[in-house]
Chains A and B, each alone.
Chain A
C-alpha cells in the first residue's frame, strides 16, 4: 500500500490505463476538504464504473464520485478517502425524445448542454445561450424541436453542474415553486450499487409502479448509495414567454407583503425570491440602477403562456406599488435567463472574493419565512457578519452566504455561534439548517447536516444493508454515514 500506482494498477486491464490518474497534479485537483485521493479514475461507461466499484468493494477502498465538482465541498470531511470516480467522460445524451418529453442521459452530461440541446431553432433556450462559456466541448445543438422544451430543474451552477451531481445532491432553486425539484422530475435511473452491481429502475414512462421507487432513493443521497450512471428525466415544453419583474423595497415588511400578496392570489409565478441588498448586488442589480441601495429586492419569475405572463406582470406591478415599492422594472427573456443563472451562481461568485465564505441552506415551514429572515438579519448583523440572504417564498427555503474573508480565530467562533442560533430557529420552525460550503478547518466545529432527524436509525440500517463495507463516501453524509 505504499506506492499509489500499485494500488490501482489491477484496474487497468478492465478500464484502461489512460483512465487512471495518480499524478500529483490531478490528485491535488480532486482533493476533498484538503484530503487527496490515491487516484482519480475517469470511466467511459457504466460497465467501467461497475468494474471500479466492484474492485473498490473487494479492496475496501473509499470512493467519492464527482462530476464537475461544483458541490464537492458539501458534507463532512471524508473519514477515509482513496479513490475519486469522475464521470466527466460519461457525457452522452442517450435518448432525447422531445415528442414524449423524456430525456435519458449519462450522469456526466452538463445541465447547460441539455438545455441547449432542447432549444428552439431560433435559439430560444431555458438558459441564456450566449452567456454560457464553452469549455472544451461546444454546446450541443441538434435535432431541435420547433417548439422547444426544457429540463424543469432550477439548478444552481447551471452553467457548470452535471445532471448526476444535481440529482445526487437534490439541487434546486427558487423556480422550484412552479416546477418542483429533481425528485419530481426523475423517472428512471441506472446506477452501480456499492457492491458493484449495475441496477436499473424506472424508465421512459411518467407513471411506473413496478417496484420500489429507487430513483427517489438515489436523489439527494450524495453518492452514499452508489454511483449514478444514467438517468431518465421528464421535460416540459419551453414556456411561451419568460420575464422577471423586480421590485425594490425599503423594509422587509413591505417586501413580505408584496411576496405574500402574490402567492395568496390566483397568479402562478415560477419564483418569488426575496433578497437582501448584498444578495441583489451580487448579481444583476447593476443592470438595474433603480434598485439603488434598496435594502430588499423581490424578483418574480414569470414563465407561462403569453396572456398569463401579461396579466401577472400587470397585477404584480400594481401590487408592488400598493406595497410601497421604491422602484420596479421588468427583465426581458434574455435578461431573465441571465438573472436566474446568476442567482444560482451567487455562492461560487462570492466565494471568489471571500475565500472563507460559509454557505447554508435554511429550511422551515413556509409560513414561518419572515420570522427566519428577520432572525438571520438580526443575528448576523449583531455578529457583524456581512451576508447575502435569499428566501425562496412559497417553498420554505432560505439560502445565506456569510461573506468571510478568512476564517481564523474570533471570526470563526462568531460565525459558528450565529449558525447555531439560526439552526435553533429553523428547528423551532419545523426545519433544519445545512451547511453547504465551509472551509475544511471550520467543518469539524459545525453541524454540517443540521440536527439529526427521527429517521436517523432507519437511515443507518438502510446504508449498512446496501453498502456493507462502507465504501461510498464514508463519513461525509448525515450522521457521519
Chain B
C-alpha cells in the first residue's frame, strides 16, 4: 500500500484532520525527552478504542510499526519511532470517564494528564499516588507504559501497584479487558505484565486506577548536611527506626547551588546535600516521629533543620526540589538525566563512584534523587553543540549504569529501557532472561510491529 492510500485509509477511520503527514508534523513527532530522534511516516490522533483498534488492524495487515505516544516526556526514547511507521498520539483520548469513590477507582482514557486526574480526585479527598516529576505534562497512558515512579513510591509503590485493570488493543486490533474493579480475577496477571512494557506488547485504551484516601496529616522536613555520608546515613537510620516516610529526597551541592541561584529557597551554598523528608498518615504519632527524625538528623551532624508549620511553608520546602531540573539548565545548556537504582545502603559508595566517573570524563554531575528507595538520578551537564562532549556523555551514562549494576542494583528505576539502555541490558540480564522476554513479546506481537527496536536488544547484540 502506498503512502497516499495509507493516508486515505487512516482518514476514513479517524477523519482527515486527524492524520498528520506534513514534514513539520513528522519533525515534531520525531523526538521525546531523551537524546534520540527518528521520524515517523504518519501520525494519527484517535478518539476512541474503536479508532485505535481499526488503526492497529490496518497496521497489522500491512506490517507497519505502531508507536504510542502521550506527551512525549519519555527519557529513554520509548516514544521515538526508530523504525518509522505510525505514531498513535493519544492527546484526544483525554477523558476522565468515571470517578467511583464507593469502589475507590477512577476509569480514564490514556491521554489524561496525570496531574489533572490527581487534582480531580484530591478535591474529593482521594489520591492517585504515583507522582512522576513530569506529572504536570505526562499522561496516565505514558505512566502505564513506563511504570513511572516518583518521590512517593517509597511508601506507596510504583504505577504498577495502582493499576487495577485496563482495556487493551492487540497488534491485530482485538480489544479485551484485563483486571477490573474487582480484585484477583483468576488467570495470569496480564495487567502487571502490560504495565511497564513500553508499548511493545499491546496498547491500553482505558485504565482503571486505584484511589486511596488522602492522608490525614503531613509533616515535611528539610535537613542540610556537611557531607553526603551524613545525609545517606540519616536516610538509613530513619528506616532502621521503623519509620517509612512518604518521601526521602536528596539533592547534592551542585544542584542546591543551581537552585539557590534561580530561586531563593535559603539553601546554604557550601553544604554537601539537603534531604527533604515527608511523613504522612494518621495524625496520631506523627509529631513524635518528626521529633525522632530531628533527633536522628542531629545524631548525624545536621547543619540546619526545618519543619514546615503549614501548607505555605511546606510549598517552600518543596519548591527547591521541584525546581531542581530546571535550575540545572543554568549550569550548562543541556543535561542528561540518568536513572539507576541500587540497594539503599549502597548509596554513599555508589555516589562517590559516580562522581569519580564524572571527573574521569571531565563532565559535571549534579545529583537529585529518591534516596529512600535507592533511585539515583545523576544529571550529566553538557553542551549539546560540542560533539565530543556528547560522545563523552553517552560513555559516562553507560558507566554510571555499570556502577549501579555492580552494586547489586539495576539499570533503570523508573525511566524504562527504551532505546537508550538497550546496550546495557546485558549488565543485568543473561541470555536466558532476554530469550524469555523475547518469547513473551512474540506471544503478543508475532509480526514485531509493536514499538519495534525497544526494550529488548536484538539477539546478536545481547551477548
Contact = CB atoms under 8 A, between A and B. Distances in A.
B417 A220 contact: no
A308 B100 CA distance: 28
Contacts of A97: 343, 345
Interface in B153-195: 153-154, 157-158, 160-161, 170, 174, 176-178, 180-190, 192-193, 195
Given A211-B433, A367-B103, A453 B244 contact: no
A205 B436 contact: no
A188 to B, nearest CB: 10
B240 interface: yes
Interface residues of A, number: 85
B285 A363 contact: no
B186 A212 contact: no
B186 A209 contact: no
Nearest to B424: A210
A100 B181 CA distance: 33
A431 B182 contact: yes
Contact of A449 (B186, B289, B342): B186
B319 to A, nearest CB: 24
A304 B284 CA distance: 10
Interface string A295-316: 0000000001111101110000
Interface string A191-219: 00100011111011111111111101101
A361 B186 CA distance: 11
B404 to A, nearest CB: 9
Contacts of A267: 282
A456 B187 contact: yes
Interface stretch (A26-34, A56-64, A457-465): A457-465
Interface stretch (A234-242, A243-251, A378-386): A234-242
Given A209-B147, A210-B412, A465-B440, A305 B240 contact: no
Contact of B104 (A193, A240, A366, A455): A366
B176 A454 contact: yes
Per DSSP, are chain B's interface residues mostly helix, strand or loop, or mixed? loop
Given A205-B410, A208-B341, A208-B412, A462 B440 contact: yes
B285 A305 contact: yes
Contacts, number: 266
A99 interface: yes
A208 B415 CA distance: 9
A222 B425 CA distance: 29
A420 interface: no
Interface string B410-439: 111111110001000100111011111101
B230 interface: no
Contact of B195 (A197, A213, A312, A479): A213
Nearest to A196: B432
A63 B429 CA distance: 27
B181 A210 contact: no
Given A307-B284, A465-B439, A203 B410 contact: yes
A180 interface: yes
B244 A236 contact: yes
Contacts of B344: 99-100
B315 interface: no
Contacts of A457: 174, 176
A212 B183 CA distance: 22
Interface string B197-217: 100000000000000010010
A358 B358 CA distance: 64
A361 B185 CA distance: 11
A203 B409 contact: yes
B110 interface: no
Contact of A212 (B154, B197, B243, B345): B197
B242 A147 contact: yes
Nearest to A432: B185
Contacts of A434: 184, 186
Contacts of A330: none
Contact of A462 (B147, B195, B443): B443
Nearest to A306: B285
Interface in B379-432: 408-417, 421, 425, 428-430, 432
Given A211-B425, A211-B456, A459 B190 contact: yes
A362 to B, nearest CB: 9
A351 interface: no
A220 B188 contact: yes
A453 B178 CA distance: 8
A217 B345 contact: no
Contacts of A395: 183
B204 to A, nearest CB: 13
A417 interface: no
B2 interface: no
B156 to A, nearest CB: 10
A361 B344 CA distance: 38
A259 B190 CA distance: 32
Contacts of A219: 189, 192
26 contacts: A183-B189, A183-B192, A197-B432, A203-B408, A206-B374, A207-B149, A207-B414, A209-B416, A210-B410, A212-B455, A213-B196, A214-B436, A214-B440, A237-B242, A237-B244, A240-B242, A308-B282, A311-B282, A363-B184, A366-B181, A396-B182, A429-B182, A459-B190, A461-B443, A461-B444, A465-B440
Given A97-B345, A216-B195, 20 more contacts: A99-B345, A181-B184, A199-B433, A201-B433, A203-B409, A207-B158, A210-B428, A211-B437, A220-B186, A220-B188, A221-B189, A267-B282, A268-B281, A308-B285, A395-B183, A397-B183, A458-B190, A459-B188, A465-B442, A465-B443
Q: Which 4 A-B pairs rank lowest in CB-CB distance, beginning with the nearest?
A: A216-B192, A431-B182, A237-B242, A305-B285
